[in-house]
């Protein structure tokens, strides 16, 4: 486990127990976790507490996934407003508890489905927040590897909160690129991904499928898929089976619906590029200057995005 950053944080982590919280309704269930809305009895602040049954995790061989999520969330601290923050972790004999930022407005996917698709303004706004979140992840040397609209939540003010870091990779050095020496980790993750990706294979990058390798550019591929889905309500790569979806991804076989905004189209086309190093932003340093400079973001001030537009 990565050591806590400060003494205060260390004390905070030590002193919390389940009795420090009033557990409320279940707000979600994962395949090996239940997420509760909970209130800190001292501060009255609301949190989402993810509860994991130890026996279930061991039985399902998910220990590595759980430890990875915790390790990555510890690295990410609380500096980025667009990432779910892990406030503390504790355990009792049977369970593990992760105290997380409460994303009151649920998953991005739910809202895309509700409105069928987002208008230009909303698509652009949330694309900007995603770019800022990806810049932050990159600065922390984290590749998420499972970005999709189910893993992007909305907080009480409808700002995004990226979650689910169980498949994430921690890059070992600044020089790491697609040909780096972290293939073992990628292979393990890729195997896990194949087993657990039913229904959402649509967001896997071609290099992860073909070579079991990932890099920051794999998240840029996923960004292209997510922007496509926000703007159209559909995923770019769909098929009757994972195999058929994978074939389409590897052949870059997707089609923009009629009337698709030309600026968004160009942005997506520059992200959905088979060769990861040629994706827009792949050669950028920590700031994705080439993404920020794209005409899709003309008139956007990345230093002050302002409040989110009303969803529609």
User: Where does this chain bind ligand ATP (CB under 6 A)?
Assistant: 27-31, 33, 35, 48, 50, 84, 100-103, 107, 153, 163-164
Closer by beta carbon to ligand ATP, 38 or else 264: 38
Output the residue with the shortest Cβ distance to ligand ATP: 28
In whole angstroms, the minimum distance from the beta carbon of 119 to ligand ATP comes to: 24
In whole angstroms, the minimum distance from the beta carbon of 14 to ligand ATP comes to: 22
Active site includes 146? yes
In whole angstroms, the minimum distance from the beta carbon of 47 to ligand ATP comes to: 8
Closer by beta carbon to ligand ATP, 105 or else 232: 105
Closer by beta carbon to ligand ATP, 100 or else 291: 100
CB 134 within 8 A of CB 220: yes
CB 81 within 8 A of CB 11: no
Closer by beta carbon to ligand ATP, 85 or else 265: 85
Closer by beta carbon to ligand ATP, 104 or else 292: 104
In whole angstroms, the minimum distance from the beta carbon of 61 to ligand ATP comes to: 13
Select which of 146, 164, 186, 219 is catalytic. 146
Task: List residues with catalytic annotation.
Answer: 146
């Amino acid at each position: 486990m990565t050591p806590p950053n400060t003494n205060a944080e260390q004390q905070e982590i030590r002193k919390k127990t389940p009795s420090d919280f009033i557990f409320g309704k279940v707000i979600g269930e994962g395949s090996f976790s239940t997420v509760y809305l909970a209130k800190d009895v001292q501060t009255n602040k609301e949190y989402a507490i993810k509860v994991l049954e130890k026996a279930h995790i061991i039985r399902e061989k998910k220990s590595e996934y759980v430890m990875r999520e915790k390790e990555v969330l510890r690295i990410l601290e609380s500096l980025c407003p667009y990432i779910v923050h892990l406030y503390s972790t504790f355990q009792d004999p049977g369970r593990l508890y992760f105290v997380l930022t409460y994303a009151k407005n649920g998953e991005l996917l739910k809202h895309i489905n509700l409105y069928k698709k987002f208008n230009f303004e909303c698509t652009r706004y949330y694309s900007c927040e995603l770019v800022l979140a990806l810049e932050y992840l990159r600065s922390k040397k984290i590749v998420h590897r499972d970005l999709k609209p189910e893993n992007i939540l909305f907080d009480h003010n409808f700002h995004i909160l990226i979650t689910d870091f169980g498949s994430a990779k921690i890059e070992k050095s600044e020089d790491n690129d697609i040909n780096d020496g972290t293939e073992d980790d990628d292979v393990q993750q890729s195997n896990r991904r194949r087993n657990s990706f039913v229904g959402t294979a649509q967001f896997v990058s071609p290099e992860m499928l073909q070579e079991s390798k990932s890099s920051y550019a794999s998240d840029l591929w996923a960004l292209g898929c997510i922007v496509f889905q926000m703007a159209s309500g559909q995923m770019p790569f769909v098929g009757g089976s994972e195999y058929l979806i994978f074939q389409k991804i590897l052949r870059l076989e997707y089609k923009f619906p009629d009337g698709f905004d030309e600026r968004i189209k160009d942005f997506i086309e520059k992200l959905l590029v088979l060769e990861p190093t040629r994706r827009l932003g792949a050669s950028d340093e920590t700031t994705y200057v080439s993404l920020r400079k794209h005409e899709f973001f003309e008139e956007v001030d990345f230093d002050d995005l302002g409040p989110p537009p009303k969803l529609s």
